[in-house]
Amino acid sequence: MQTVTSQFHDNANKDLVPLAWGNSMSFTKQFDDSITFGSYDVSQYDSGDLFAPNTDDSLNFWDYYKYVDYSDRIMDMSWSREMSFPYSVSAAMADFTFNNTDGFFTPGGSSVIADYIIPKRPVRLQAGYKNDKIQQFIGITGNTPTIDEDKKTVSFHATDFLTEIFALNLIHIVAMANVTVDEVLAAIFEQFGMSSSSYVLAKGRNVIPFVFFDKGKNAGDAIRDLMQSEGGHLHIDETGIIRFETRLPQVDTPVYTVDDENTFSLTRSGQEGIINSVKITSVIRKVTDYRDVYSRLADPENQTVSSDVNVIKSGSSGAVTAELDNPCLVIEEPTLGEVAGASWFTAVTMGGTPVTSGVSVTGHSESTNQYTIFISNSNSFDVQINQLYLWGKAALIVNTLNYLAQDADSIMKYGVQQLGGDEGITNDFFGSYGNADSFAETIIDAYKDLNPTIEAEIAGDLSLQLGDVIDLQARGIDEDYRITSIAPTMYPWKYAIKARRYNPREYSYYDITEYDVGIYAP
Amino acid sequence: MPILLKLSDDTTTETLQLPNPPLVISDLNNDVKNRTLNNALKVFIYPGADKLIIKHTWKYNRIDEYDVIRGFRQRQRSTGKFPKLSITGLNDDVVNLPVNIEMGDKNIIDNCETTENVSVTFEGA
């Protein structure tokens, strides 16, 4: 639940509820000069919406736009958030309609923003009660708006910035060892110029021995795999903060009561989302100490240069690529001349005479299975790179995990309900038997039995958030539920929620003194 | 104190007499009413949505009087701007309220084009 004043809650609970709403957009996508900003104008991402802010203040990078208030034109607005179980990466969506009687939002018209009615315009939605509005959504519009010439309205659809991030490809490789999911997420977000104030990441339970994402890999795919291995949830909240929750979030207490006095409709369904079988396939790698990770050595019996492979022309540059057997956490950049305990390469003239100067490495690139060095040859003759030896830390496959956990009692009742279907899940980030076991036990413990879900339309409180626990006391029910979907519509008012019965487990942890109460966390 | 209606737009300002009460003033809003599971009423009130709708029927109007009102009605459509209505002589006066003017049938009852029972609705914009 967002932090609001007591007056906010009082207004939400009144018989006559005084709604308030607001909408501001940045059609021109100009930056707010009053906000100190870093070097966005030299960023390599300046064609998009994500860029590297050079600041650590509490603002998110989407706060840097100059927003204009269009609240007096709102005819309707709605937004929705939903998480799925047992893990999810969820994006929020919003739809809103403006009065367009004067053609202000008509592309190509005469208004000051007519040239900016184009996709990807930042938008903020606020809603609350009386004079007290809080932010409900921050995101970016999708395609150009729908203009209704008969009704003189214009309608926009928008998604949150997480959707935008998921569509991006990684700018650099990610190579990390013995890290938790939150650490990997932070590294990915950092690539996109997001400061740590833009996200709140719980400490992941899963320690991944080795993570390697190629440059250019889709960020959304990478993040989804990480969420699956953690059994966690990732979303952007109402204020624009990215939040990551592990599979064992802290125990929550109800923040709102849903009863006959504030509920307009209520349905409850039963057997949904039962999981009594977890099958995991995971290739486990372990990062070694420094060792040779690639070697292409010349045949001492035959120094004759027989091809033009790896030839660097006189006075120019070229690339030499090594095919790796395994991805590497780190590879030292080679230098000219053999040396022990380091990366090196040697060069010869086309006649086979060793070259000892004028050949140097100017850079490198790497991927899962390739390491490419860029070499400059300042000599007045062509050279061939005849030997290459790379020294680094490789991630070797040490095991392939085939894990299966099932709950016999639940299978007796409901049949086999396996996570991920017949194939189970394949994800190399589980990293260890212990983590797979912990993941499976937690999932089965939480989902092996009936977990009723409800769908309700309630009077609501606009400070409620996804994941909040509510006390359901309507229609004779008295149970706690956790909100899995929130979808308010401002006009005509409709506050639709979905919630799943909440049975918190009072897990204790080995490293705290109260281990003898409750159940050990798997 | 007589009740006077004053209409103004960018072209002119005119004061109209109100010789034939009643002048009907009603609330106009977008309230959404819902009944809860125990049949309690919840009303959701929208910001800035409380408006007035004012109706009056002139028993008889000379054609020049009719044309004054008609002129405001026509200009609002050609300029795209609502005229403003003020009503004085009430316990709670209306001041410069932007209104959408809608006129009822023009019933001409003689060769001088005198009109009878022309109803006009001033809807708060």
A residues 246..275 contacting B (CB < 8 A): 260-266
Q: Which residues of B are less than 8 Å from A20 in CB distance?
A: 47
Looking at the partner chain, which of A21, A101, A459 has a beta carbon nearest the beta carbon of B47? A21
ipTM more than 0.85?
no
Residue B26 pLDDT > 90: yes
| Tokens 């650490």, residue located | A183
CB of A493 less than 8 A from some CB of B: yes
> What integer pLDDT is reported at residue A30 of this predicted model?
80
Amino acid A447: pLDDT: 86
Among the partner residues B35, B40, B44, nearest to A17 by beta-carbon distance = B44
The whole-model pTM stands at 0.78
What local confidence, expressed as pLDDT, does residue A274 receive?
A: 86
pLDDT at B57 over 90: yes
pLDDT average, residue stretch A367-391: 92
Contact between A459 and B45 using a beta-carbon 8 Å cutoff = no
Model pLDDT, residue A34: 66
What's the whole-number average pLDDT of chain A?
Answer: 85
Interacting residues of A279 by C-beta distance below 8 A, sequence separation 6+: A403, A404, A418, A419, A420, A423, A424, A425
Token code pair at residue A491: 């006009």
Whether residue A308 is predicted with pLDDT greater than 70 in this model: the reply is no
CB A350 within 8 A of CB A382: yes
pLDDT at A20 over 60: yes
Is A19's CB within 8 Å of B46's CB?
Answer: yes
Nearest to A385 by CA among A304, A309, A299, A334: A309
**Which pair of tokens denotes residue A33?**
């000069």
Q: Is the pLDDT of residue A518 over 90?
A: no
pLDDT at A398 exceeding the cut of 50: yes
CB contact under 8 A, B47 and A261: no
The answer to whether residue A187 neighbours chain B at the CB level (below 8 Å) is no
Residues of A within 8 A of B81 (CB-CB) are: none
Give the number of C-alpha atoms closer than 13 A to the C-alpha of residue A232, restricted to the C-beta side.
26
State the Cα–Cα distance between residues B85 and B76, nearest whole angstrom. Answer: 13
Instruction: Give residue A47's pLDDT band: very low, low, confident or very high (50, 70, 90).
Output: very low
pLDDT of residue A214: 85
What is the longest distance spanned by two Cα atoms in chain B?
A: 63
Mutation pick from A104, A493, A494, A495 vs chain B, by most beta carbons of B within 10 Å, is: A493
pLDDT greater than 60 at residue A512: no
Tens of pLDDT along B69-96? Answer: 999 999 999 988 999 999 998 888 999 9
Does residue B2 carry a pLDDT above 50? yes
Residues A159, A82 contacting (CB under 8 angstroms): no
Instruction: Determine the pLDDT at residue A56.
Output: 34
More confident of the two residues A459 and A270: A459
Contacting residues of A for B38, CB less than 8 Å apart: 260-261
Answer yes or no: is pLDDT of A301 > 70: no
Residue of A nearest to B43 (CA): A16
Between the alpha carbon of residue A41 and those of residues A46, A272, A303, the distances in Å are 7, 50, 52
Chain B contact set for A474 (CB, 8 A) = 37
What pLDDT sits at residue A305?
Answer: 52
- Contact across the interface for B45 and A17, Cβ inside 8 Å: yes
| Mean pLDDT of all residues in A77-86 | 87
Contact A491 B80 (CB under 8 A): no
Q: Please tell me the least confidently modeled range out of A185-194, A279-288, A301-310, A496-505.
A: A301-310
A 452-491 residues with CB below 8 A of B? 459, 474-475, 491
Query: Using alpha carbons only, what angle is made at residue A96 by residues A257 and A485, rounded to the nearest 5 degrees?
Result: 30
- Phi–psi pair at B79, nearest 5 degrees: -95, -20
pLDDT at A488 over 60: yes
Of A18-32, A297-311, B7-21, B24-38, the least confident: A297-311
Per DSSP, A402 falls in state E
Instruction: Judge whether residue A359 has pLDDT over 90.
Output: yes
If one compares A369 and A95, the residue with the highest pLDDT of the two is: A95
Residue A355 has pLDDT above 90, yes or no: yes
Q: What is the pLDDT of residue A166?
A: 86
CA dist., res. A465 & res. A126, Å (int): 14
Chain A contact set for B47 (CB, 8 A): 18-21
Any chain B CB within 8 A of the CB of A74?
no
Tell me if chain A has a CB within 8 Å of the CB of B111.
no
CB A260 within 8 A of CB A478: no
A417 contact B CB<8A: no
The residues pairing with A282 across neighbouring beta strands, listed in sequence order, are A401
Whether chain A has a CB inside 8 Å of the CB on B1: the answer is no
Give the mean model confidence (pLDDT) for residues A138-162: 91
Residue A58: band (very low, low, confident or very high) from pLDDT cuts 50, 70, 90: very low
Q: Cβ contact (<8 Å) for B42 and A260?
A: no
Of A21, A102, A263, the CB nearest to B37: A263
- Supply the pLDDT for residue B102: 97
| Closest residue to B45, CB basis, from A16, A102, A492 | A16
Instruction: Tell me: pLDDT of A59 over 50.
Output: no
pLDDT at res. A306:
57
* d(CA A261, nearest CA chain B) in Å: 6
- Chain A CB within 8 Å of residue B42 CB: yes
Residue A422 neighbours by CB under 8 Å, 6+ apart:
none
pLDDT given at position A198: 85
Cross-chain Cβ contact B36/A260 below 8 Å: yes
Q: At what angle do helices A219-230 and A181-191 cross, to 10 degrees?
A: 170
Q: Average pLDDT, stretch B29-53?
A: 92
pLDDT band with cut points at 50, 70 and 90 for residue A17: very high
The whole-number average pLDDT for the span A268-277 is 80
What are the strands of the beta sheet with B84-88, ordered from one edge?
B13-17, B4-8, B84-88, B94-103, B115-124, B51-61, B23-28
Residues in chain B within 8 Å Cβ distance of A100: none
Residue A468, min C-alpha distance to chain B (Å): 22
CA A322 – CA A25 distance, rounded (Å): 50
In chain B, the residue whose alpha carbon lies closest to the alpha carbon of A12 is: B44
A168 has pLDDT over 90: no
Q: Cα-flanking dihedrals φ and ψ of residue A7, to 5°?
A: -60, -35
